[in-house]
Amino acid sequence: MILTGKKGVIFGASNKYSIAWGIAKQLHLHGAEFILSVENEKSINKLKKLMEEHSIKTDICICDVTDETSISNLKNAVASKFEKIDFVVHSIAYAPPESLQNSLINTKWEHFAQTLHISTYSLINIIREFKDILSENSSIITLSFLGSNRIVPGYDIMGIAKAALESSVKYLSHNLSSSNTRVNALSPSPINTVSARGVKNLKEMMHKVSDLSLLKDEINIDTVGTNAVYLLSDLSKGVTGQIIFVDSGYHNLGVL
């Protein structure tokens, strides 16, 4: 129960496949209290059922991260429940399907802007809004992917968003260092989630990565969750501005 006494917000759980749901389950098992922030009404019923199955009792709030008022309303709801929080999990990404089907060179500005707004700027925006209710020594995590700095065919526009997200992690870790707030990213192998299904050849990619990876296993949302437990706990004190791969060593391989 290394997270006992820690309180926070988890963004991005929509259904049982969501990485944020895998994180929520593990944080609960380790004693954390949290509010789940979801994009829309649709996710609420799905999550309520899952929460019942796992005996998780928590509030669910709706927050569309493209809407400033929605973020500030959520912050007020979090502040009135917890006063101060110790962690934020940002597990959000979106690219219009058309832009994921096209190569980067054909990406329209409005699709580029929307992808970066939701997948990257939302982290900055959320942290700015929540800054005054973060306790000293708090920890923030986001989710990235290897396509941020390697060519992963089909990931195109999202690769740009993840490159900017990873850079944001580093600058935010500097911006927040005076309050000892740590900012890190987990970068897992491909996992079969609703968002990931928008990337061409997802299943093929998953098999390839697990076959080639050093530890030869497929990463699932629970494994990402246990790594989140570490990063959000005091066990990871001193770790900030890092992109931590949860990919069984795959990212270290050269072209074989």
Ligand X SMILES: NC(=O)c1ccc[n+]([C@@H]2O[C@H](COP(=O)([O-])OP(=O)(O)OC[C@H]3O[C@@H](n4cnc5c(N)ncnc54)[C@H](O)[C@@H]3O)[C@@H](O)[C@H]2O)c1
Using alpha carbons, list the distances in angstroms from residue 82 to 24, 27, 46: 17, 16, 25
Distance CA 207, CA 23 (A): 23
247 near ligand X, rule: CB under 6 A: no
Residue of 3, 19, 24, 32 interacting with ligand X (CB under 6 A): 19
Cβ distance to ligand X smaller for residue 83 or 217: 217
DSSP code of 234?
G
Give the count of residues interacting with ligand X (CB under 6 A): 25
- Output the smallest distance, CB 14 to ligand X, in A: 3
159 near ligand X, rule: CB under 6 A: no
DSSP code of 240?
-
Q: In which region does residue 177 sit, left (phi positive, over 0), alpha (psi from -120 to 50) or beta (all else)?
A: alpha
Q: Report yes or no: 179 and 134 within 8 Å, Cβ to Cβ.
A: yes
198 near ligand X, rule: CB under 6 A: no
Q: Report yes or no: 58 and 33 within 8 Å, Cβ to Cβ.
A: yes
Q: Please report, in angstroms and rounded to a whole number, the separation of the first and last CA atoms in the chain.
A: 42
Residue of 130, 145, 230, 250 interacting with ligand X (CB under 6 A): 145
* Burial group, residue 29, by CB count within 10 angstroms (0-12, 13-18, 19+): middle
In the structure encoding, which two tokens stand for residue 248, read together?
A: 């069984």
Cβ distance to ligand X smaller for residue 18 or 223: 18
Residues 209-238 that bind ligand X (CB under 6 A): none
Report the DSSP pairing between strands 182-188 and 85-90.
unpaired
- Looking at 121-232, list the stretches that DSSP marks H as alpha helix, in order from N- to C-terminal side: 122-130, 156-175, 202-212, 221-232
Cβ distance to ligand X smaller for residue 211 or 234: 211
- Output the smallest distance, CB 52 to ligand X, in A: 19
164 near ligand X, rule: CB under 6 A: no
65 near ligand X, rule: CB under 6 A: yes
Cβ distance to ligand X smaller for residue 84 or 212: 212
- Residues 6 or more apart from 102 whose CB is under 8 A from it? 156
113 near ligand X, rule: CB under 6 A: no
Q: Report yes or no: 10 and 224 within 8 Å, Cβ to Cβ.
A: no
Cβ distance to ligand X smaller for residue 10 or 32: 10
Q: Which stretch binds ligand X (CB under 6 A): 44-52, 140-148, 174-182, 248-256?
A: 140-148
- Output the smallest distance, CB 8 to ligand X, in A: 16
Residue of 8, 18, 33, 116 interacting with ligand X (CB under 6 A): 18
86 near ligand X, rule: CB under 6 A: no
Residues that bind ligand X (CB under 6 A): 12, 14, 17-20, 39, 64-66, 91-94, 118, 143-145, 188, 190-191, 193-196
